[in-house]
């Protein structure tokens, strides 16, 4: 007699740090960077961000609060800088915007945090 066993599913819950990084990555790669390339400026208004966020949330079914958490986390990390009602990307990322490059979150962090 052969015994058929089904592989057990392992549920992995990410820690706080991993989920924050995932949220930052998601917001950068799907909302902020595409918005910057679309408007072709290193800065954007809150209304421009909200329009892009809403279209992303509608398309993916993602909750706006999760996207907001990732956005705030990008602000705290210094990847996005706020001045009054404008938001701008870190100055070291502007050359990538001019070249219209695809810019992943990993490269963003390396570019910002490396000493020159």
- pLDDT value at residue 20: 83
Q: Examine residue 107 and state whether it is found in any structural domain, yes or no.
A: yes
- The number of domains in the chain is 1
Q: Examine residue 8 and state whether it is found in any structural domain, yes or no.
A: no
Q: Examine residue 59 and state whether it is found in any structural domain, yes or no.
A: yes
Task: For residues 6 and 61, give the distance between their C-alpha atoms in angstroms, rounded to a whole number.
Answer: 31
Q: What is the pLDDT of residues 10-60, one digit of tens each?
A: 555 666 666 788 999 999 999 999 999 999 999 999 999 999 999 999 999
Owning domain of residue 85:
16-113
- Left, alpha or beta for 100 (phi > 0: left; psi -120 to 50: alpha)? left
Q: What is the pLDDT of residues 65-84, one digit of tens each?
A: 999 999 999 999 999 999 98
Q: What is the pLDDT of residues 7-19, one digit of tens each?
A: 566 555 666 666 7
Q: Examine residue 72 and state whether it is found in any structural domain, yes or no.
A: yes
Residue 95 tokens read as 């050359």
CATH number of 58's domain: 1.10.10
- 88-93's contacts with Cβ under 8 Å and 24+ in sequence apart are 88/42, 88/43, 88/44, 89/32, 89/36, 89/42, 89/43, 91/42, 93/42
pLDDT band at 6 (very low <50, low <70, confident <90, very high): low
Taking the model in full, what pTM does it have? 0.82
């Amino acid at each position: 007699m052969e015994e058929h066993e089904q592989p057990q599913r392992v549920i992995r819950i990410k820690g706080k740090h991993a989920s924050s990084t995932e949220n930052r990555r998601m917001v950068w790669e799907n909302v902020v960077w595409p918005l910057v390339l679309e408007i072709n400026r290193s800065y954007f208004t809150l209304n421009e961000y909200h329009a892009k966020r809403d279209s992303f949330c509608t398309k993916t079914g993602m909750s706006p609060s999760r996207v907001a958490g990732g956005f705030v986390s990008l602000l705290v990390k210094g990847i996005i800088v706020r001045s009054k009602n404008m938001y701008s990307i870190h100055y070291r990322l502007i050359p990538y915007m001019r070249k219209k490059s695809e810019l992943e979150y990993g490269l963003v962090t390396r570019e910002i945090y490396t000493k020159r």
